[in-house]
Amino acid sequence: MDLSDYAALDALEFEADIVVNNAGLQHVAAVEEFPPERFSQILWIMLEAPFRLVQKALPGMYEKGWGRVINVSSLHGLRASPYKSAYVAAKHGLEGFSKTVALEGGPKGVTSNCICPAYVRTPLVENQISDQAQTHGIPEDEVVEKIMLTETSIKRLVEPGEVAEMTAFLCSPAASFINGASLTMDGGWSAR
């Protein structure tokens, strides 16, 4: 569904054993140049909408005594980068929200965790290459190497399938005691 459609989100009724919040959008600009309406939109889609979806799912999860909330955060939920104020703020907020759900839901059989990948090979990442090039004053063909991979020790983008596998693992019995965690998939970036 279109998470920017407030009315549709509020009218949504559903039951789910697993909720995966994976929406993301990006705008690259210095804080003083960042359009306030874009900042609000990013926070709505990446923080407010996940709250509303989880809020609707929790009663059914609690009734069953089992549920999984998986928030696809980002390494930017743990570390900041310049020119990404809204994205970083939304992901930091998602991290805090996820931990709150973990504390409230754990005694009721519901776990809540974040997956924190570095740059994932998705349209979101590919679509920001030109903005990153312009902001940093470098050619587009240098953005991945000089901006996106500078902090990782494994010099490649994360593949979407790797994030999907981590998501599936968090729903498995082997992960039943993982709760309130922020699991990095960052090629060593956060080891710095």
Out of 6, 62, 83, 87, the active site residue is 87
Supply 97's token pair.
């929200």
- The two beta strands, 182-185 and 18-21, are unpaired
Ranges of each domain in the chain: 17-120+157-187
Q: Which amino acid is at 177?
A: F
- Do the Cβ atoms of 109 and 64 come closer than 8 Å? yes
**Rounded Cα–Cα distance for residues 22 and 46 (Å):** 8
**Domain over 17-120+157-187 is classified CATH 3.90.950.10:** no
> Which pLDDT value is given to residue 124?
83
Contacts of 63 (CB under 8 A, 6+ apart): none
Indicate if 87 belongs to the active site.
yes
User: Which amino acid is present at 46?
Assistant: M
Q: Is the pTM of this model over 0.85?
A: yes
pLDDT at res. 109: 98
SS (H, E, C) 43-88: HHHHHHHHHHHHHHHHHHHHHHCCEEEEEECCHHHCCCCCCEHHHH
At residue 42, what are phi and psi to the nearest 5 degrees?
-65, -45
Query: Which parts of the chain sit beneath pLDDT 50?
Result: none
What is the pLDDT at residue 120?
94
